[in-house]
Structure 1
Amino acid sequence: MQLTRRTALIGLGLAGASAALPGRAQEAALPAIRVGTLENGTVSWELQTIIKRGFDRANGFRLVPMVLAGNPATQVAMQGAEVDTIVSDWLWVAQQRARGTGFAFLPYSTAVGGLMVRPDSPARTLADLRGKKIGIAGGPVDKSWLILRAWSREELGEDLADITQQVFGAPPMILNAAETGEVDAAINFWHFQAKMQARGMRELISVATAAEALGLDPATPLLGYVLRDDWIAANPALATGLARASRAAKELLASDDAAWEDLRPLMEARDDAEFQALRAGWRAGIPVPGPVDVANAQAMFATMARLGGDELTGGVAALPEGLFWSPE
């Protein structure tokens, strides 16, 4: 009797395993969307959520992250068709499209930074930074820096670049320079700004506020998934599925604090304050659903192009037609 019962249990186990196999086989048979990403990039927060919650499989595909060494490597992989998508800014996508690549842009994030100072800084306005040193991540054509320069021209009648000294460097270097007082103010990528805020630094002015004062729409997404026109045409259901999976992940992370616990190891926050600041910053960058307002994007492009010139635009005079893609 004991042998019979043991045999029955083994049989049930095998039956359960057999029943599970078709599900796994079906998942393996789903078409893959290969996304080029960075090991510690903030994009991985959304990608992991999509995979862990099954938003890819629910929309008819398997999301396959391909970890690459840096942003230039992701762009090269996209140009070489080694991946199906990456996340990049629409200025790069516009340059590529103008050169005939057929790249298109699906909104991912509106996140931008601001100008940060230490809590003991006497500065209260941009005018107070006259003669001071500003640390800037992203280089001379950083989009946040260009918008703040345009705002200072309007509000102060002077270009911020002319009345301050600038130090350009990688985001961690700018963070450290701001903390140690090597620079008097800093403009950093949004997730490093979140860390700066968590460590007590103060925002003098946000890029969103400056953009609004210039008549621009800060809700214009700057970062997005890059897709190919021919890939979209050949795989319309996959392209729509990616858009829907991305939106589902955003809606979950926007409303469910518990969903962020899975992401803590990826976020590398040194304490709860930093974790909460990173979460709030990511949420603030969630774009509204629906197509991009092309006129608003063109206005933002024109403002940045006036100051950034060909180094920023790559010689593109206007955003090319068909740049922004939406499944709606």
Structure 2
Amino acid sequence: MRKNLAICTVIAVVLLIAAYAYFSSYAQTGKYQSQPVSNVIRVTYAQTGAGLPYFVAEDMGYFKQENLTVEAAGVSTLSSVTSSLLANKADAGIPVSFSDIIVTEAKQPGQFRAFAVGAETHDTNATGIMVMPNSTYRSIADLKGKRIGIGSGLNPLVVGRWKLGKYFNASNVTFVTMSSSFALAGAMASNQVDAIVISQPAMASAVKKGLARDLPNSTDAAIMDPFVVNDYVLTSKFVAQNPRTAAKFVNAMDEAVAYINTNPQGAMQILAAHTNTTVEQLKSGDNKPPWRDTVLVNGTFKDSEVNTSAMAAMQALANKYFAANFINDTVNVSNIVYT
């Protein structure tokens, strides 16, 4: 009897040890633990004035504060940012043109989540139509029948048509597409085009080099104030799979937006350093910042003339795209908002 009891006791001890080892191995391999949170995020950013929030977050150490590892790639156009996101080569786009967002949402809903919005207002100077310094053209109305240089992608074409359309039928001009904003001034100087639809910092650089001057009332805000030009986005897939990392990235970018709005001189220096320009080249002479007004997606655009929520501004422009037949279906912008 005692022998049987001893045998049973030994068996029980062996089973307990085996069970402990079994469950310990699971714990060590992480099967019964939550998987470690990845702090890596792939970012494609525009090497233009539109990339300013990213430049600030990088230079001011906001990504490091959030313990993020950013794998970044710079591109020359906003359309290239969009392509990178749709090809799953990036998790965040800094920024994506609003036209690309609307067209993508109409065709393939649910691709992006926007957390910040950049818009041209009457208090900013980030876009314009420019002509040669010695040109006889004094108004957009003088450009009827002319050759107009634009950047690649849908947005330059759309804003070009809408700006010119306030004065005459835009079909009365010939649009010539260039590879980047910095190629536009050179194309005009070599008489390939008569005027250019351009943005910062190429715009300020062209003025300082004596290559161009801007026409009055030619910023994007002449179309609509505020005029949403771009959104700062994450892919919906990344947000769903990495919610904590997504939140950290948004926090870092929020800090960058706050820095830009409260420290414009510091932001100017950072922009110059990242765009191969100087602070003097970026100054326009009218005390308006050479970047778009940027607010969080739940924020408000405030200038000398308007007080409009970012959501309302996006929806108004989305409706305008639909009315102008640039998209075949209406878009509810609340579906693309990061929450």
TM over 0.5: same fold? Answer: yes
Query: In structure 2, how many angstroms separate the alpha carbons of the residues matched to 1:107 and 1:237?
Result: 18
Structure 1 residue aligned with 2:233? 226
Structure 2 residue aligned with 1:54? 61
| C-alpha distance 319-237 of structure 1, shift in aligned 2 (>3 A) | same
Deviation per residue, 1:139-162 (Å, 9 max, x gap): 67623213213422xxxxx31332
AA matched with 1:187 = V
| C-alpha distance 322-230 of structure 1, shift in aligned 2 (>3 A) | farther
Query: In structure 2, how many angstroms separate the alpha carbons of the residues matched to 1:197 and 1:276?
Result: 10
Deviation at 1:116, TM superposition (A): 1.2
- Kept after mapping to 1: 8 A contact 2:115/2:296: no
Query: In structure 2, how many angstroms separate the alpha carbons of the residues matched to 1:306 and 1:259?
Result: 37
Structure 2 residue aligned with 1:238? 245
- Kept after mapping to 2: 8 A contact 1:267/1:275: no
| C-alpha distance 273-263 of structure 1, shift in aligned 2 (>3 A) | closer
Query: In structure 1, how many angstroms separate the alpha carbons of the residues matched to 2:237 and 2:151?
Result: 35
Which residue, out of 104, 107, 113, partners 2:127?
113
Query: In structure 1, how many angstroms separate the alpha carbons of the residues matched to 2:135 and 2:206?
Result: 14
Deviation at 1:35, TM superposition (A): 0.8
Deviation per residue, 1:195-247 (Å, 9 max, x gap): 22333432213233422xxxx332x4322223233533454443333223223
Query: In structure 2, how many angstroms separate the alpha carbons of the residues matched to 1:42 and 1:178?
Result: 21
Deviation per residue, 1:127-148 (Å, 9 max, x gap): 2223333222236762321321
Structure 1 residue aligned with 2:15? none
Q: Percent identity?
A: 18
Structure 2 residue aligned with 1:122? 136
- Kept after mapping to 1: 8 A contact 2:322/2:330: no
Deviation per residue, 1:63-82 (Å, 9 max, x gap): 33145687666444423434
Deviation at 1:248, TM superposition (A): 1.8
TM alignment of 1:126-141, pairs within 5 A: 126-138=140-152
Structure 2 residue aligned with 1:175? 185
Establish whether residue 196 from structure 1 lines up as the match of residue 206 from structure 2.
yes
Which residue, out of 144, 147, 169, partners 1:159?
169
TM alignment of 1:300-315, pairs within 5 A: 300-307=317-324, 309=325, 312-313=326-327, 315=328
Please report the TM-score for the alignment, with normalisation by the length of structure 1: 0.69
- Comparing 81-90 with 66-75, greater Cα deviation is found at 66-75
Deviation at 1:303, TM superposition (A): 3.1
Aligned pairs, how many? 280
Establish whether residue 287 from structure 1 lines up as the match of residue 294 from structure 2.
yes
Structure 2 residue aligned with 1:187? 197
Query: In structure 1, how many angstroms separate the alpha carbons of the residues matched to 2:182 and 2:76?
Result: 17
| C-alpha distance 263-145 of structure 1, shift in aligned 2 (>3 A) | closer
- Kept after mapping to 1: 8 A contact 2:117/2:294: yes
Deviation per residue, 1:12-48 (Å, 9 max, x gap): xxxxxxxxxxxxxxxxx8712221235x444554334
1:287 is paired with a residue of what secondary structure?
strand
Query: In structure 2, how many angstroms separate the alpha carbons of the residues matched to 1:82 and 1:209?
Result: 33
AA matched with 2:334 = G
Highest Rg: 1 or 2? 2
Structure 1 residue aligned with 2:281? 274
2:85 is paired with a residue of what secondary structure?
helix
Structure 2: stretches of 5+ with no match in the other structure:
1-36, 121-125, 299-308
AA matched with 2:101 = V
Which residue, out of 159, 183, 189, partners 1:144?
159
Query: In structure 2, how many angstroms separate the alpha carbons of the residues matched to 1:46 and 1:230?
Result: 23
Establish whether residue 89 from structure 1 lines up as the match of residue 89 from structure 2.
no
Deviation at 1:186, TM superposition (A): 1.5
Query: In structure 1, how many angstroms separate the alpha carbons of the residues matched to 2:279 and 2:60?
Result: 24
- Comparing 281-290 with 47-56, greater Cα deviation is found at 281-290
User: Which structure dedicates a bigger proportion of its chain to helix?
Assistant: 1
- Comparing 142-151 with 291-300, greater Cα deviation is found at 291-300
- Kept after mapping to 1: 8 A contact 2:116/2:297: no
Structure 2 residue aligned with 1:207? 219
AA matched with 1:120 = N
Deviation at 1:188, TM superposition (A): 1.8
